[in-house]
Amino acid sequence: MRLNHLSYAILLTALPTASLFAAGLDRSGQSISAFLQPGNYAEAGISILDPKVEGQDLLKNKVDDMGEDYYFPSAAIKVQATDKISLGLIYDQPYGADAAYDSNSLFFGSNGTGTSVEVDTQNLTALIGYQPTENWNFYAGPVWQTVEADIKLRGLAYQGLSGYNIKVAEEEAYGWLAGFAYSIPEIALKASVTYRSEIKHKATGEETYTLSSPMTVAPGVTLPTGTTIGLANARVDAITPQSVNVDLQTGIAANTLAFANLRWVHWDQFAVTPQALFQRSGGNNLIDYSDDQYSITTGISRKFNDKWAGTAAVGYDSGAGNPVTTLGPTEGYWSVGLGGQYSPAENYFIQAGVKYFWLGDAKAQTGGTVVGEFKDNTALGYGMKIGYRF
């Protein structure tokens, strides 16, 4: 059951929205499937998420939808330099958050503005692979990553921190990945294991907050309520977590593949700790998670003819602990997805996919106190990808 190029593309780029709404800040799923394509290959895609995240605050008041739509692009190129050496470059945006609460919310808004968060990352992964035989591929490479953030806290949920702002300019850091793949082309079997290291960011940000009560700063000097205090070049420590991806596929019938992706992300003990917030709150973190994330996506891909193919998949994500931060009040998900692929010629294809998520119920906390509960929420993800062999 040796696969042609079209059949490989069915599986290894099966659903553009494969990991669109995952635990913690996880977004892209950090796939390296493009690098494991045969021959020379390039792809570019975009994924979009439309979530609905509603709930109620501590006093049972309704909290309107705080989940913001977002999109992120991806791209990759792989070159088979020799029979045994391959080179690759992969761009994605692996972690992020987008949320905005209603400014009229008692617990999450005040003075005409609501609590909001925008966290963006970018990854550029360089890969070199060594194939000692047709069956084995060993690969490794460096990872360049940037992080930037803009976060505002408002409302009773944050007590003395209502009015707090932090803006972190784009900052870069480096990590690495390594892994191996094994394949038996005759039966369409392929398996890969990829480890990514944690990446330590030592960023600086501008923190400001408004005093909710008078503050004595020196003998005889007291700042009144409402005074805004700023701290420029505040230290912000964060570590994006280490992870392991396991990808499996096998032919189960003519022109039909079964596949599975398993992912582990080390969110346990993850924390973002800005300097002024830590001091002002008595030792609390801005963002933290208590559990590791485990997720699985499995499904079937089928080639209908030389031009058309389709994929169906189901997925589960464990979440990263509950209660959770108010900046992302969901706990894992279940999902179903459908994808279609059109190949005008054997050397390129156009692919689209859609995925529906049932988001896990979660309690939102600040400083260890539960301030809201979010139930029965959903999200819709969709995306498009173009692949080309050269």
CB-based burial of residue 113 (10 Å sphere; 0-12 exposed, 13-18 middle, 19+ buried)?
Answer: middle
CA distances, 334 to each of 171, 246, 327, 361, 377 (Å): 34, 19, 21, 11, 11
CATH number of the domain located at residue range(s) 5-389 in this protein: 2.40.160.60
* Closest to 259 (Cα-Cα) out of 271, 244, 246, 272: 246
Q: Which two tokens stand for residue 282?
A: 């008595």
Per-residue pLDDT at 346: 84
Question: In this predicted structure, what is the pLDDT of residue 262?
Answer: 94
- Could you tell me the pTM of the whole model? 0.92
How is the chain split into domains, by residue range?
5-389
Share of the chain above pLDDT 70, in %: 92
Q: What is the pLDDT along the chain (390 residues), one digit of tens a residue?
A: 444 554 554 444 455 555 556 667 888 889 999 999 989 999 999 999 999 999 999 999 999 999 999 888 999 999 999 999 999 999 999 998 899 999 999 999 988 899 999 999 999 999 999 999 999 999 999 999 999 999 999 999 988 788 899 999 899 999 999 999 999 988 888 999 999 999 999 888 899 887 666 667 667 777 777 677 777 788 888 889 999 999 998 888 888 889 999 999 999 878 888 888 888 787 888 888 889 999 999 999 888 888 888 899 999 999 988 888 898 899 999 999 998 988 898 888 999 999 999 999 999 998 888 999 999 999 999 989 999 999
- Residue 385 has a pLDDT of 92
Residues of the chain by 3-state class (helix, strand, coil), percent to 5: 5, 60, 30
| 368 exposure class (CB count in 10 Å sphere: 0-12, 13-18, 19+) | exposed
